[in-house]
Amino acid sequence: MNNDKENDSIKKFKKEREKLNDIVMRYGKINTKRFFNLDSNVYKKGALSSKTKELIGLVASLVLRCDDCILYHIIRCFEEGLSDEELEEALSIGLVVGGSITIPHVRRAYKHWEELKNKRSNQ
């Protein structure tokens, strides 16, 4: 079945990310560590909801064209219960702001979104 492989691609990403973060934390000193803390703090619920913040992070990552960052925020948006319609509207803003150069990333964003949905519906 196809879903096991798809399931794996998300799992593999998370595992690799964790493994590499361990290396960073081994070398990183106070400034690196503070930056990583800051990077998780800015997405915490405040005046804006976590969902809105993750959407902002997603589109910022899209226009800057960073696949790892996009996938990370796609997973987080999924966890925050984003709907297909909300995703599409956010990605279409990114597409228009960032131009056709973002298309390959938009493609992969939807592919990962579909993987996440398939994974859930197979549980």
Distance CA 31, CA 101 (A): 33
* Residue in 98, 118, 122, 123 binding a second copy, rule: CB under 8 A: 98
Measure the CA–CA gap between 88 and 65, rounded to whole angstroms.
17
Q: Considering only residues 74, 90, 116, 119, which one is a binding residue for a second copy as defined by CB under 8 A? A: 90
101 near a second copy (CB under 8 A): yes
C-alpha distances in angstroms, 123 versus 64, 80, 84, 96? 34, 18, 19, 35
**CB count in 10 Å sphere of residue 42:** 11
We find the least distance from the C-beta atom of residue 97 to a second copy, in angstroms, to be 5
Considering only 14, 15, 35, 122, the residue that binds a second copy (CB under 8 A) is 35
9 Cβ contact list (under 8 Å, min separation 6): 112, 115
Question: What minimum distance in Å lies between the beta carbon of 87 and a second copy?
Answer: 7
Which residues in 54-83 contact a second copy (CB under 8 A)?
A: 55-57, 59-66, 68-69, 83
**What are the residue ranges of helices labelled H in 28-100?**
30-41, 50-63, 67-79, 84-98
116 binds a second copy (CB under 8 A): no
Pair of tokens at residue 118: 């398939």
Contact residues: a second copy, CB under 8 A: 17, 20-21, 23-24, 26-32, 34-36, 38-39, 41-43, 46-48, 52-53, 55-57, 59-66, 68-69, 83-104, 106-108, 110-111, 113-114
